[in-house]
Structure 1
Amino acid sequence: MRTQFGSPIDYFLELGADTIHMNELLGKPLHMKYVGQQCLNCGKDRKIYRMGHCYNCFYELPQTADWVIRPELSKAHLDIEDRDLAYEKDVQLQPHIVYLALSSDVKVGVTRKTQVPTRWIDQGANSALEIVEAPNRYLAGIAEVALKQFVADKTNWRQMLKNEVAQEDLFEFRAKLSQHIPEEVRPYFLSEKSDKWDLDFPVQKYPAKIKSLNLTKTPEFSEKLAGIKGQYLIFEDDTVFNVRGNEGTVVEIFIS
């Protein structure tokens, strides 16, 4: 889902040529029907392997290479190609942010500066604080590797959806972690940055006991939409549907 920062955040689901403003559907019944699968790259009716792509495309495209998930593997700053050097230079050789976010417990992560605050919205973070602004992806990646020895780098998605978020001071966390910033990244440490992002999600009711919807096993599903957080749809009966995790799935949606 495409998002727009606001209070609350606006969500837009793009289905082919159609765009649905999901906030307007809160409290209304939705009917979802599984149709099939379609690779986001080649467009063929193939089983989705990862990140919305079929097996062949996943292992060929530059945007699904290992450095995407593990920034410390970036090599474009060394003029070394992984899959497509022009693409890798375009993405890797731009400012990147290392941040602390509160989605469940405090976590550390990396995102391109142009993806602020979209990255935190997609993770369902209630708040976030930028702690490093590095000139490339590699430096941000080695900072993350160093810091995740002392703070988590993953979100507990169940706690995030239940809105069970730790009460932590991100500024205090930044101060504690400052001594663990790698030497070559220290010039980019944002020790005095005072702008913290607070995010407000359009949720009428958080789930008490989560049930995850798998449309390949349950091809049709109907229920009232109770909220949206991260890239999840939350339904009245505590069912949740991971939109990002189902990229490449062809779905028909009927609105009552």
Structure 2
Amino acid sequence: MQYQAVLKKMMTELNDVVHYYLDTENDFLNLNQLLNKEIEISFEGYQCLSCGKEKKIFRQGLCYDCFYKSAAVGDWVMKPELSTAHLGIEDRDLAYEKEAQLKPHIVYLALSSNVKVGVTRKTQIPTRWIDQGATKAIEIVEVPNRYLAGITEVALKEHVADKTNWQKMLKNEILDIDLIEEREKLKAFIPKEAQPYFLANNGKITEINYPVLQYPTKVKSLNLEKTPSYFGKLIGVKGQYLLFEDNTVFNIRNSEGYKVIIEVK
């Protein structure tokens, strides 16, 4: 069967094993059902996810013009501590920024290779953890806006990593770490403004299993601009990556806005 799509982040559903769905032109493709099947991915061009024009993608599925205009990709997205909507100060679009920033946010610990600290809107749990390929995660604080989450993350990343080693994550090389113990160690470093929001009674660890038949021993990334046609057997999906039998990995998230044809053999 053949599917046409403008690539977007895979949708996920947390069950005993994560279920992955790819939005295609006429349907949602359940990627779990494609495990152990041969797939051909053909690169057909670009389509900006904001303006819809067939313009070369610059970053995050957007063309150059949209990337520097869209309120959805302001600096506060990657650096929550730069959020200013709580002060009534606009970055690009105050109404949008209030809607996004003035919502409950969670600062968490996730285990994907090493343990890392991160920030997400409360409504994005557990989606954010799945997208990072975390096998376990636990919440630390729940704050009323993105700024407080951001300054908490900045303080905590002095004591714990804030990045995932994506190659180790894909090879399933994961450290054995007690997240509850790590959370207690970090409690003392939470900024004064966020201390009242510490989730004192939260000892719940979320465990996440991925649909992977076999993990790669090494990884080589598929770049559709350099390799516009790729053929391989799908053996797993983890984070936002497709894993293939020949150790090729394809980051769907990094290829947003790419027009492709996916053929299942």
- Report the TM-score, using the length of structure 2 for normalisation: 0.96
Aligned to 1:193: 202
Q: Which amino acid counterpart does residue 101 of structure 2 have in structure 1?
A: Q
Aligned to 1:24: 33
Whole-angstrom distance in 2 between the partners of 1:97 and 1:208: 34
Q: Which amino acid counterpart does residue 44 of structure 2 have in structure 1?
A: V
Aligned residues: 256
Whole-angstrom distance in 1 between the partners of 2:224 and 2:255: 9
Deviation string for 1:145-199 (max 9, x for gaps)? 0000110101000000000011100011011111100001000011320111000
Deviation of 1:246 (Å): 0.3
Q: Which amino acid counterpart does residue 84 of structure 1 have in structure 2?
A: D
What is the aligned counterpart of 2:122 among 104, 113, 135?
113
Which stretch shows the higher mean deviation, 16-25 or 123-132?
16-25
Is 1:203 equivalent to 2:209 in the alignment? Answer: no
Q: Which amino acid counterpart does residue 45 of structure 2 have in structure 1?
A: G
Deviation string for 1:46-96 (max 9, x for gaps)? 111110001110010110100000000111110111111111111100100
What is the aligned counterpart of 2:83 among 62, 71, 74?
74
Is 1:218 equivalent to 2:257 in the alignment? Answer: no
Structure 2 portions without partners, runs of 5+? 1-9
Aligned to 1:171: 180
Q: Which amino acid counterpart does residue 103 of structure 1 have in structure 2?
A: S
Deviation of 1:16 (Å): 2.5
Q: Secondary structure at the match of 2:224?
A: coil
Please, what is the CA RMSD of the aligned residues?
Answer: 0.7
Is 1:246 equivalent to 2:255 in the alignment? Answer: yes
Aligned to 2:158: 149
Whole-angstrom distance in 2 between the partners of 1:209 and 1:234: 11
Q: Secondary structure at the match of 1:128?
A: strand
Which stretch shows the higher mean deviation, 114-123 or 190-199?
190-199
Deviation string for 1:217-256 (max 9, x for gaps)? 1111111100000000000111000000100111100001
Deviation string for 1:15-36 (max 9, x for gaps)? 2332100000000000110101
Whole-angstrom distance in 2 between the partners of 1:225 and 1:123: 19
Whole-angstrom distance in 1 between the partners of 2:205 and 2:92: 36
Q: Secondary structure at the match of 1:98?
A: strand
Q: Which amino acid counterpart does residue 212 of structure 1 have in structure 2?
A: S
Aligned to 1:135: 144
Is 1:62 equivalent to 2:71 in the alignment? Answer: yes
Structure 1 portions without partners, runs of 5+? none
Whole-angstrom distance in 2 between the partners of 1:69 and 1:219: 30
Moved over 2 A (4+): none
Aligned to 2:61: 52
Whole-angstrom distance in 2 between the partners of 1:16 and 1:121: 24
Whole-angstrom distance in 1 between the partners of 2:89 and 2:25: 36
Structure with the larger RCO, 1 or 2 (CA within 8 Å, 6+ apart): 2
Whole-angstrom distance in 2 between the partners of 1:25 and 1:196: 30
Aligned to 1:183: 192
Whole-angstrom distance in 1 between the partners of 2:96 and 2:26: 27
Whole-angstrom distance in 2 between the partners of 1:205 and 1:116: 26
Q: Secondary structure at the match of 2:194?
A: helix
Whole-angstrom distance in 1 between the partners of 2:228 and 2:146: 40
Q: Which amino acid counterpart does residue 180 of structure 1 have in structure 2?
A: F
- Report the TM-score, using the length of structure 1 for normalisation: 0.99
